Structure 1
Amino acid sequence: MRAVVLGGTGYVGGELIRLLLHHPKIELAQAASRRLAGRPLRLAHPNLRHVRHLAFTDPADLRPADVLFCALPPGETAAMRHRLAGLADVVVDLSPDFRLRDQQTHERVYGPAPGRAEAAAAFVPGLPELYRDRLAGARRVSVPGCMATAAILALTPLAEAGLVEGEALVDARTGSSGSGATATAASHHAERAGAMRVYGPAGHRHEAEISQACGVTARMTVTAVPRVRGVQVVAHVSPRRPISRAELLALFRGRYAGEPFVRLVADRSGVHRMPDPKILDGANFCDIGVAADADGRRVVVVAALDNLVKGAAGGAVQSANLALGLDETAGLDFPGLHPV
């Protein structure tokens, strides 16, 4: 099967290229970039210096493929949707263009998007842990945001069990790669290094995705931390009834039993007794840990993942595997590194 990556010079595009180059069933046929058309991949992704048979392709020269991965800035996939439909049987979009079903919510969060609503109805959320049956054979896939993915996986077992009372509070921390490859004043090393900058104290755009997927009202705060990769969310929930840690563990084990890329972290002691994105660099896992107050009236769920892999490119490949009828885990077996 042939794959094309559109938006190949960004960090997410680079991870898509890396994963597809080692995929056992999908061949990376083209990676597109206007700026670097005709130039080797290593100019944007120096870790791919050994890949000498591929250079970036101008987007105007894309050829039909079995699957097209779109890693474009907000608004661009939606604007190109009619052309993209003729390029591949399966289109996997990693932008926010088709994540939200409700048009008014999308426009409130992302701004005007004429004609988007009709196209959005065809997209299946690219989160296999919730939508595996719908992803099988899907032709349009929209991958959730990285912090939204972690928060949704953290809250889903509680929400499905009807245990969430009132709002769910999500405290998220993210590394600098989540801001993309284009430099900004906030990504300048002198400003970013060593900082823990609360840049999303209230009303973050991922709240709508989390609320849509979990059926609860989510409130999120986001802090930029001194890491390149990684997302960690700490979700605080007031349960409808007191619940113990043992019950929580049973609930989460039952919900994610058999999930190839969700790991429950249940150690009571030690350095790694709660999920930490540090050991997930390059891996497609989401690690989840739970805790409860002694009286069982407050639940804390911690989830961690690599924002560029499980939170983006890895989630996209996992979803594409299902859509194409392949082994869901194909090309995604890297376990992460320790120590780093």
Structure 2
Amino acid sequence: MTKNIAIIGASGYTGAELIRLIATHPDLEIAALAANSKAGQEMAQVFPHLRHLELPRLVTWEEIDFSGIDLCFCALPHKTSQEVISQLPGHLKIVDLSADFRLRDPAEYKRWYGNDHAAPELQKEAVYGLTEFYRREIAKARIVAGTGCNAATGQYVLRPLISASVIGLDDIILDLQCGVSGAGRSLKENLLHAELSESTNAYGVGGTHRHLGEFDQEFSQLAGREVRIQFTPHLAPMNRGILATAYLSGDPAAIHDALATAYADEPFLEVLPMGETPSTHHVRGSNFCHIGVVADRIPGRAIVVAALDNLTKGSSGQALQNANLMLDLPESTGLMLAPCFP
């Protein structure tokens, strides 16, 4: 039976990516699209690459009749998402792509995002949306909080290694390159072509990047002790993609084996043969994440490199993967499309 879907925040990059993925999903029908700033427009006006699809006209989210909607994706900025979701019907299944329900402790949300939590009661029922590690909880959840794209990439590298106790926990360094679409579609001076092209820069340096809140929460819970990693993201002059490089202490062969074992049955996590490393080109436009392990020249040290598409596996693809579980559909439905290369 076809499930009816609504997308709030359809005029952003993650909203467009959701539409692209759902367009070929055999069991989902887009019944409503909301984008308050562009209400009244056709999607073809906002995203001409979707012109071939028959899609509902954009409306404000308040205009949507949710009585016939099975699941709603909310692709709004943080703070706005809490305010909107708190007004949606209580029966509605929701996948939130913002940061608003990722951190379980409202005090931690205020610390990292600077606002009081607007929906603390809803926070209690929200499940963290890293599918491969929370799929049982996600399948039963009403609200699922999508992860940060940087946070997802780092966790795919580090969670199996922390669980298997094959790396030192006090000297983890994560260096990450992220494409410009990770900053959203809003106009920003530093994202102008003349400012960004032929350049790259670090940001959130010294422990200020908000996705550290997710790393702190998830790694410390996993290890049963406080884990604080060094993390520096860099804005790269590419449209989409994340390449994360982790510098770790531990036996490289044991690290590779732990990752290969953890992801042996995962449809979207590919661990490369020992010594190979991935490229963002190899996963572009797909829901796959490729991970490679290389032994460092220093004994007892390893380098792990992961690549995923920030808009797909890092956000909208992950959201659809979670929605499939919530709607009791096969998890990989609509998501096995091959990467676009070159």
TM-score normalised per structure 2 = 0.92
Tell me the residue number matched to 2:213.
208
Moved more, 284-293 or 318-327: 284-293
Give the CA deviation at 1:115. Answer: 4.3
Structure 1 contact 85–91 (Cα < 8 Å) conserved: no
Superposition misfits of 4+ residues, deviation over 4 angstroms: none
Q: Give the % identical residues.
A: 36
Tell me the residue number matched to 2:259.
252
Give the CA deviation at 1:24. Answer: 1.0
1:261 aligns with 2:268: yes
Tell me the residue number matched to 2:230.
219
Structure 1 contact 286–303 (Cα < 8 Å) conserved: yes
1:45 aligns with 2:53: no
Residue type at the aligned position of 2:218: A
Gaps of at least 5 residues in structure 2 are 221-226
Residue type at the aligned position of 2:212: E
Residue type at the aligned position of 1:166: D
Tell me the residue number matched to 1:303.
306
Q: Distance in 2 between matches of 1:317 and 1:150?
A: 17
1:187 aligns with 2:191: yes
Tell me the residue number matched to 1:330.
333
Structure 2 contact 86–119 (Cα < 8 Å) conserved: no
Q: Distance in 1 between matches of 2:86 and 2:254?
A: 49
Residue type at the aligned position of 1:16: L
Tell me the residue number matched to 1:63.
65
CA separation of 1:326/1:161 partners in 2, compared to 1, >3 Å: closer, same or farther?
same
CA separation of 1:109/1:53 partners in 2, compared to 1, >3 Å: closer, same or farther?
closer
Q: Distance in 1 between matches of 2:59 and 2:118?
A: 29
Could you tell me which of 13, 20, 23 is aligned with 1:21?
Answer: 23
1:176 aligns with 2:180: yes
Moved more, 284-293 or 3-12: 284-293
Q: Distance in 1 between matches of 2:187 and 2:117?
A: 29
Tell me the residue number matched to 1:159.
162
Residue type at the aligned position of 2:152: T
Give the CA deviation at 1:188. Answer: 0.8
Give the CA deviation at 1:38. Answer: 2.3
Q: Distance in 1 between matches of 2:253 and 2:176?
A: 25
Give the CA deviation at 1:102. Answer: 1.7
Give the CA deviation at 1:58. Answer: 2.1
Q: Distance in 2 between matches of 1:154 and 1:25?
A: 32
Moved more, 248-257 or 324-333: 248-257
Structure 1 contact 17–31 (Cα < 8 Å) conserved: no
Say what the alpha-carbon RMSD is for the aligned residues.
Answer: 1.5
Residue type at the aligned position of 1:78: Q
Gaps of at least 5 residues in structure 1 are none
Tell me the residue number matched to 1:147.
150
Give the CA deviation at 1:36. Answer: 2.0
1:284 aligns with 2:287: yes
Q: Distance in 2 between matches of 1:7 and 1:22?
A: 20
Give the CA deviation at 1:294. Answer: 4.6
**3-state SS of 2:59 partner:** coil
**3-state SS of 1:263 partner:** strand
Residue type at the aligned position of 1:325: D
**3-state SS of 1:278 partner:** helix
Deviations 1:52-93 (A, max 9, x none): 44321221211211100000011011112332234x531000
Deviations 1:152-181 (A, max 9, x none): 010011110123331421101011111111
CA separation of 1:115/1:175 partners in 2, compared to 1, >3 Å: closer, same or farther?
closer
Tell me the residue number matched to 1:134.
137
Give the CA deviation at 1:137. Answer: 2.2
**Number of residues of Structure 1 aligned to a counterpart in Structure 2:** 330
**3-state SS of 2:322 partner:** helix
CA separation of 1:125/1:114 partners in 2, compared to 1, >3 Å: closer, same or farther?
closer
**3-state SS of 2:103 partner:** coil
Structure 1 contact 32–58 (Cα < 8 Å) conserved: yes
